[in-house]
């Protein structure tokens, strides 16, 4: 009896506990129709989160932002443009609502402060301000930082750069500077305590001092070859010719004498030059091939760069021109550069020419037998020696073609046919050909002016392009050319 009563009591207690525990669940859980309504409300205000938060954002043709689940490809949301937040507009509105800030200090030595000050000034003036990098919205609309295209067919008015017509580069493009001191005797450097004080930039060993000497020699007609600021055999030969031409006894170590002679002959050794649109326009070639067969396929063997063209115009080594102007943009018209002020070209007619094979120099004399010009030269080689004896100039050609004939002269590479090489300063004979009465021989220019007097030729007499051009203007058919050993 007791066991029966205990069992019934335990059963009644279990039913009561089950009822109490189930009651809260029944009161909290919503009805099915209420659950559906809440879900629809949530869909209107929120965006479904993709699996693992991995989703892509696209834009359709109407500007709507489409958010797609990367894993399933399901479209999660479509946001029309007018429903998206304009973060820049909100930011500007927030700044306007803040109003002026009292005691808004900007420190001049703080770059960030100055940047904020400039931005604030631009905003106050109503100008478009590109937001800083750290505030750019990567998914927002891009800032219109550039002006709209013109609506009149592309006419930008008279301020648009004009079309540049390519012109050949002229020799002796700058006029020599007039002497700075009046009278025949130029002013010498000042004296302190009875001693002459020389500009430190002209001290011995400075490359610019050597270049100044080279410019002085060039002015007198005693060409040192390229102006490169370096001593060498070409400078030594030119200095000897300079003393013969001028009747002086100048030494390469006479810094004061060199400076005085520069003042008397045209002023400073260097001048400023403004790069023109024609200089930048060229025409130029990308590169000059070594093979004659490939050269023959080109239209013209022009300069390869502005620096090469300007270096030849001002009788300079290309690398030295760049070293003098390390920050210059040679391809931009209006750039001012420092160049050699070599002065005027020799104009006295030539009556006789000597090609000295030992000194590697060409010397030109007038009708009275006076030396008027001297040029470093490459004259023949052991395999293809230059002529001997006395010959005469037969004709002069500027900017000539070159006929390559392996059956008569030398053979270049695998080219065994006659080729016509187009004209240009980078052609085999440069920009000048002074033909001699001995067939296939002549005096001509070179595409490598820095190698003159230091390498060999194929039997002809090779000068720098500017020296060959100067000689071509003062020589005429019939002038004798004597080759001496």
> How far apart (Å, rounded) are the C-alpha atoms in residues 167 and 165?
6
Question: Is the bond preceding residue 231 a cis peptide, omega within 30 degrees?
Answer: no
> How far apart (Å, rounded) are the C-alpha atoms in residues 462 and 444?
5
**Backbone phi and psi for residue 38, each to the nearest 5 degrees, phi listed first:** -65, -40
> How far apart (Å, rounded) are the C-alpha atoms in residues 92 and 131?
11
Query: 193: alpha, beta or left, given left = phi > 0 and alpha = psi -120 to 50?
Result: left
> How far apart (Å, rounded) are the C-alpha atoms in residues 326 and 328?
6
391 is catalytic: no
Count of CB atoms within 10 A of residue 457's CB? 18
Burial class of 72 by CB neighbour count within 10 A (0 to 12, 13 to 18, 19+) = exposed
Q: Per the residue annotation, which of 315, 391, 458, 460 is the catalytic one?
A: 460
DSSP letter string, 173-197:
-SPPPPPSSSSSSPPPPPEETTEE-
> How far apart (Å, rounded) are the C-alpha atoms in residues 21 and 18?
5
Beta-carbon contacts of 333 under 8 Å, excluding residues fewer than 6 positions away, are 275, 276, 277, 279, 280
**Dihedral of CA 250/252/254/257: which sign?**
positive
444 is catalytic: yes
Count of CB atoms within 10 A of residue 68's CB? 17
> How far apart (Å, rounded) are the C-alpha atoms in residues 117 and 107?
9
Lookup: tokens for 248? 């002086």
Q: Per the residue annotation, which of 315, 391, 444, 458 is the catalytic one?
A: 444
C-alpha distance from residue 122 to each of 91, 129, 156 (Å): 15, 7, 26
Q: Which residues are catalytic?
A: 444, 460
């Amino acid at each position: 009896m007791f066991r029966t009563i205990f069992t019934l009591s335990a059963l009644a207690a279990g039913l009561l506990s089950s009822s109490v525990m189930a009651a809260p669940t029944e009161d909290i859980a919503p009805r099915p129709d209420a659950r559906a309504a809440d879900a629809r409300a949530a869909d209107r205000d929120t965006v479904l989160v993709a699996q693992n938060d991995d989703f892509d954002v696209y834009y359709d043709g109407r500007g709507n932002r489409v958010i797609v689940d990367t894993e399933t490809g399901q479209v999660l949301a479509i946001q029309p443009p007018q429903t998206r937040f304009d973060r820049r507009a909100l930011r500007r509105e927030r700044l306007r609502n803040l109003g002026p800030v009292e005691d808004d200090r900007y420190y001049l030595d703080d770059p960030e402060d100055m940047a904020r000050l400039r931005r604030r000034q631009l905003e106050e003036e109503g100008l478009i301000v590109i937001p800083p990098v750290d505030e750019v919205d990567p998914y927002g609309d891009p800032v219109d930082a550039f002006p709209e295209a013109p609506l009149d067919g592309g006419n930008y008015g008279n301020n648009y750069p004009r079309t540049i017509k390519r012109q050949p580069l002229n020799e002796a493009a700058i006029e020599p500077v007039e002497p700075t001191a009046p009278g025949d005797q130029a002013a010498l450097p000042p004296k302190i305590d009875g001693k002459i004080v020389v500009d430190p930039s002209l001290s011995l060993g400075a490359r610019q001092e050597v270049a100044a000497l080279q410019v002085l020699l060039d002015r007198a007609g005693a060409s040192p070859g390229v102006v490169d600021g370096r001593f060498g055999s070409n400078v030594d030969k030119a200095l000897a010719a300079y003393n013969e031409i001028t009747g002086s006894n100048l030494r390469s170590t006479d810094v004061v004498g060199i400076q005085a002679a520069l003042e008397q002959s045209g002023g400073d050794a260097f001048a400023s030059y403004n790069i023109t649109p024609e200089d930048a326009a060229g025409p130029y070639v990308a590169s000059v091939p070594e093979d004659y067969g490939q050269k023959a396929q080109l239209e013209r063997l022009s300069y390869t760069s502005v620096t090469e063209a300007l270096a030849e115009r001002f009788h300079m080594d290309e690398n030295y021109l760049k070293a003098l102007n390390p920050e210059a943009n040679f391809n931009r018209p209006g750039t001012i550069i420092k160049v050699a002020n070599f002065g005027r070209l020799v104009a006295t007619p030539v009556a006789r020419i000597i090609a000295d094979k030992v000194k590697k120099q060409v010397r030109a004399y007038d009708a009275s037998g006076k030396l008027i010009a001297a040029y470093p030269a490459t004259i023949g080689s052991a395999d293809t020696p230059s002529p001997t004896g006395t010959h005469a100039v037969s004709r002069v050609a500027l900017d000539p073609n070159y006929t390559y004939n392996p059956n008569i002269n030398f053979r270049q590479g695998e080219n065994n046919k006659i080729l016509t090489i187009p004209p240009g300063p980078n052609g085999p004979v440069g920009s000048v050909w002074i033909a001699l009465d001995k067939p296939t021989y002549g005096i001509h220019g070179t595409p490598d002016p820095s190698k003159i007097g230091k390498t060999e030729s194929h039997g002809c007499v090779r000068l720098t392009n500017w020296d060959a051009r100067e000689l071509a203007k003062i020589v005429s058919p019939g002038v004798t050319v004597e080759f001496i050993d």
